[in-house]
């Protein structure tokens, strides 16, 4: 039986891409609950990783993610990063307190904040340096203010009206480290969300990692009775140490 160590590997692969655009809690828009089905495909060195999950987010910051492929497990977290990961096949749960796992690191929650048009970069230690028009688009340039940041020289966000359609982070050598495309916007009362997010990251050798997220069945109301907004880990689950797990 596969244990949570494999779950940890999946998280290790995927979470760094969310952390780069993590957001502060802020005041959310009128929606109190949202859900969606998400498919993530990541391509690196001709290998594809596919992950499927269901997201259930409440505006108080509580987030339940039900991973359905390649393994089934549940991730329950809040805006503080207080997280439980439960694997039903083994009836095991690990508890982690890590801000990088905060519910606010999901792209889904980013677009529920008033600062989504700037990808909330000013709350990530960036300062707005300039705004210019490029045809019908608005291009915003940001520079990092954290002295400890030795990798990023600047960031740009391109918007059509107030909707981000592209962002990029540049290294000290002027080359792009990471770029993201936001497409296929869907609109609901008080929220507009890109149903497809494509991210390309580059390492020092010039190799790229391509990650594509597709959101479907986005709901802001009329949830089914089995919606997992209030999902709880079963009381009989065995607690395991996330840093000392064997197969």
Q: What is the pLDDT of residue 243?
A: 58
Which domains does the chain carry? 4-239 (2.50.20)
pTM exceeds 0.85 for this model: no
- 168-186 exposure pattern, b = at least 16 Cβ within 10 A, e = fewer: ebbbeeeeebbbbbbeeee
Q: What is the pLDDT of residue 64?
A: 96
Q: What is the pLDDT of residue 52?
A: 97
Task: Give the tens place of pLDDT for each residue, 115-127.
Answer: 778 887 887 778 9
pLDDT band of residue 241 (cuts 50, 70, 90) is confident
- Average pLDDT (138-162) is 87
The Cα 127–Cα 146 span in angstroms is 10
Q: Which residues contact 137 (CB under 8 A, 6 or more apart)?
A: 158, 159, 160, 165
Q: Among 27-36, 53-62, 234-243, whose mean pLDDT is lowest?
A: 27-36
Strand (E) or helix (H) holding 8: helix 4-19
Task: Give the tens place of pLDDT for each residue, 101-147.
Answer: 777 777 777 777 667 788 878 877 789 999 999 999 999 999 988 76
- Average pLDDT (63-82) is 93
Q: Among 19-33, 73-87, 229-243, whose mean pLDDT is lowest?
A: 19-33
Q: What is the pLDDT of residue 31?
A: 56
Give, as one character, the DSSP assignment of residue 237: P
**DSSP per-residue codes, 69-97:** ESS-EEEEE-TT-EEEEEETTTTEEEEEE
Q: What is the pLDDT of residue 238?
A: 94
pLDDT at 8 over 60: no
Q: What is the pLDDT of residue 236?
A: 92
- Average pLDDT (70-98) is 93
- Average pLDDT (20-34) is 48
Q: What is the pLDDT of residue 111?
A: 75
């Amino acid at each position: 039986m596969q244990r949570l160590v494999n779950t940890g590997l999946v998280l290790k692969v995927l979470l760094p891409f969310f952390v780069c655009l993590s957001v502060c809690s802020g005041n959310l828009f009128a929606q109190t609950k949202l859900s969606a089905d998400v498919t993530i495909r990541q391509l690196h060195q001709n290998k594809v990783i596919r992950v499927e999950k269901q997201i259930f987010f409440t505006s108080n910051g509580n987030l339940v993610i039900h991973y359905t492929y390649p393994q089934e497990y549940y991730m329950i977290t809040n805006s503080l990063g207080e997280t439980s990961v439960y694997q039903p096949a083994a009836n095991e749960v690990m508890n982690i307190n890590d801000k990088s796992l905060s519910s606010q690191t999901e792209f889904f929650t980013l677009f529920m904040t008033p600062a989504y048009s700037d990808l909330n970069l000013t709350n990530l230690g960036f300062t707005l340096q300039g705004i210019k028009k490029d045809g019908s688009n608005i291009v915003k340039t940001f520079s990092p203010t954290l002295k400890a940041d030795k990798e990023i020289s600047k960031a740009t966000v391109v918007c059509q009206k107030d909707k981000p359609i592209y962002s990029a982070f540049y290294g000290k050598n002027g080359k792009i480290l990471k770029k993201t495309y936001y497409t296929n916007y869907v609109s609901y009362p008080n929220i507009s969300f890109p149903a497809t997010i494509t991210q390309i990251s580059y390492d020092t050798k010039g190799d790229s990692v391509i990650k594509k997220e597709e959101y479907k069945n986005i709901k802001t109301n009329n949830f089914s009775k089995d919606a997992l907004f209030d999902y709880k880990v079963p009381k009989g689950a065995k607690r395991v140490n996330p840093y000392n797990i064997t197969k």
